[in-house]
Structure 1
Amino acid sequence: MENKLSKADRTRQFIIETTAGIFNTKGYAGTSMSDLTEATGLTKGSIYGNFGNKEDVALAVFDHNYAKVAGLIQQRIRSAKTYHDKLMVYAQVYDQFTRGNFPVGGCPILNTAVEADDTNSLLKDRAAKAILKWKKGVQDLIQAGVEAGEFKQGLDHSRIALSIIALVEGGIMISKVTNSQACLDKIMVTVESIISEMKI
C-alpha cells in the first residue's frame, strides 16, 4: 500500500513539474488537456487519476512555481548581511527572471493574477495570497531593519511594501510586453532608491 502511494506521489510530481512551464506560459484557459497528455506522455485517464480536473493541476502547478521563486528568494535573503541587502534580493531575483532559474514563462504571480482576476476565483485566490505573503515578508524585513537601527523610525511599512511589489511586477509586465530587459533594469533602480531612502 505504501509503495502504491509513493508511486502515486511520484506521478503527481511528474505531472506538476512537466506541465509547470506550459501553464505558466499559456495560462489556465490556454492550456488544453492535449497539451498535458502530449507533454507528460500520459493518458487523460492517468492525469485525472491523480487530479480531479485541469483546475486541480493548475493549482498544484501554481504552488510549485511559486514555491520555486519563494525558495530562491528566501535562500538569498538568509545569506544577505544587511536589511537593505535582504530587501534588494526581491529586486535582484525578479530582475533576473528572463536569465536565471526562474520558472519557464516568468512570474507565476503576475501571470496568474492577470489571467484569473475575472475568470477563475481559485487561481485568483492563490495569487492574492502570494501577494499578501510577499507584502508581509517585505514589511517584516523593514520592521527588523528599524529595530536593528538600520532604517528610520516612522516608515509606512505597508505603503513601501506595496510600492516595491507594484514596481517589481509592473516592471516585469513592461519588460515582457516590450521585450526590453532595459525597461526592467531601470524600474529596479527605482526599487533600489526606495530601499536606500529608508536607511539612517
Structure 2
Amino acid sequence: MKTETPNKSERTRQFIIEKTAPIFNTKGYAGTSISDITAATKLTKGSIYGNFKNKDEVAISVFKFNLHKLQLMIAKEQSSKKTAKEKLLCFPELYLHFLSEKFPVGGCPIMNTAIEADDTHPQLKEIAKKAILAWNDNLIYLINKGKEQNEFKTTTIAEEKALLIIALIEGTVMLIKLTGRTDHLKSLMNSLKALIEDL
C-alpha cells in the first residue's frame, strides 16, 4: 500500500509548526510574535499567512503538535509495561525529567496553554480542556483496570485519584518553572510515586 507524499504546502505547514513549536511552548501565545515566527522559519510574513489564516491557527496547530509529541513519549514508556500500576508509575519517572530534551521544549504544553488561554483565547482553552479531560479519562481507566486486577484497593475512587495525579504533576511543573527550585522535583515525584503505590 502506497503512502501519499505530502505536497509542498503540507510540508511548509509542517515545517512552520515544527520550527515554532518550541517558541509558542516557551513564550506562550501572547508572547510569540509574527517576527518570532519569521525569524525561526526564515520565511516571509506572506509565506506564513499563505499557509495559515492567522497566528491563532499556527498556535492551535503547534499545541496539537506538542501534545502529540508528549502523548507519544508517554505511550512509548508505557508500551513495555504490563500492569496498570507499572503504566501509572511511568508518570513520576517521566516528569522527573520534564526539563530534559525528552519533553517538548518549554515543558508540558497542556499546562502552558491552559494557564495562558484561560481568559484570553477560548479556542486554545477548549483544546487544552479536551486534552486534560482525555488524560483524566485515561488515568481513570488505568486505575479501574488496576482495581480489577487486584493491584489497587477496591475502595479507591478512580475519579478522585486521577484528578489528584494530574494536580500533583501539573502543580509540580508550575512550581519548578516558577521558582527554579529543581531540587524539589525528586521529592515531589516521589510523593506521586507513593500516591500511586498506595492506590
TM-score range, shorter chain: over 0.9
Which segments of 5 or more consecutive residues in structure 2 lack a partner in the other structure? Answer: none
Aligned to 2:185: 184
**1:1-200 to 2 correspondences below 5 Å:** 6-198=7-199
Q: CA offset at residue 4 of structure 1?
A: 10
Alignment-mate amino acid for residue 39 of structure 1: A
Q: Structure 2 CA distance, aligned partners of 1:187 and 1:58? A: 31
| % identical equivalent positions | 50
Does the C-alpha gap of structure 1 residues 4 and 84 become closer, same or farther in structure 2, counting only changes over 3 Å? closer
Q: Structure 2 CA distance, aligned partners of 1:82 and 1:20? A: 33
State the SS of the aligned residue for 1:96: coil
Conserved? CA contact 1:146–1:153, under 8 Å: yes
Q: CA offset at residue 95 of structure 1?
A: 1.8
Q: CA offset at residue 12 of structure 1?
A: 0.5
Q: Structure 1 CA distance, aligned partners of 2:96 and 2:7? A: 37
Q: Structure 2 CA distance, aligned partners of 1:4 and 1:102? A: 28
More off after superposition, 136-145 vs 173-182: 173-182
TM-score using structure 2 length: 0.94
Conserved? CA contact 2:95–2:189, under 8 Å: no
Conserved? CA contact 1:174–1:183, under 8 Å: no
Q: 4+ residue runs of structure 1 moved beyond 3 angstroms?
A: none
More off after superposition, 91-100 vs 54-63: 91-100
Does the C-alpha gap of structure 1 residues 116 and 106 become closer, same or farther in structure 2, counting only changes over 3 Å? same
Q: Structure 2 CA distance, aligned partners of 1:47 and 1:12? A: 8
Q: Count the aligned residue pairs.
A: 196
Q: Structure 2 CA distance, aligned partners of 1:5 and 1:90? A: 34
